[in-house]
Amino acid sequence: MKKIAILIASLSLLLMPLLVAAIPSTTYADANSDVRQGIDQANSSGAPSVDNIIAIGLNLFSFVIGVVAVIMVMIAGFRFITANGDANQVSGARTAIIYAIVGLAVVALSQIIVQFTLHKVTLPKCPPGQTQISKPGDCTP
């Protein structure tokens, strides 16, 4: 059980950079208004945007990890109940529950970080020579 928990935690940590790997290319696109206009035109054709694809992938990943973590907690709880006072089994079940909760926390934090990054990357920018007034997209000439 401990190996499964470590494997799930390792996989979640290893796969998270793959979901975030597309963000730097979007960040560089904000530097050039011509590229941004091209992206906007491509998005107006009904094709899903890069940030939507990343959000969908992250949501799917989070759902799968959440289900696995809940199943791990249920199995560890069953092991905890059926330990009959055996210190090794109680310790193993307690460790599995802790690993599952840590995995859920990592997934929740990854959701927050990726959503924050996508929000910051996809904010509209002011054209050159204009300044931002109060919120992104409100510009003065």
Please report whether residue 90 resides in a domain.
Answer: yes
pLDDT reported for residue 12: 61
pLDDT reported for residue 27: 46
Please report whether residue 25 resides in a domain.
Answer: yes
Please report whether residue 44 resides in a domain.
Answer: no
Tell me the two tokens of residue 135: 């919120």
Structural domain total, the chain: 1
Please report whether residue 28 resides in a domain.
Answer: yes
Domain coverage including residue 22: 2-39+50-126
Please report whether residue 134 resides in a domain.
Answer: no
Please report whether residue 20 resides in a domain.
Answer: yes
pLDDT reported for residue 30: 43
Query: SS in 3 state form for 16-28?
Result: HHHHHCCHHHHHH
Per-position pLDDT tens, the chain of length 141:
677 766 666 556 555 555 555 454 444 444 456 666 666 665 555 667 777 788 888 888 888 988 998 899 999 999 989 988 889 999 999 999 999 999 889 888 988 888 888 777 766 667 677 766 666 556 766
DSSP state of 45: T
Side chain identity, residue 20: V
Please report whether residue 111 resides in a domain.
Answer: yes
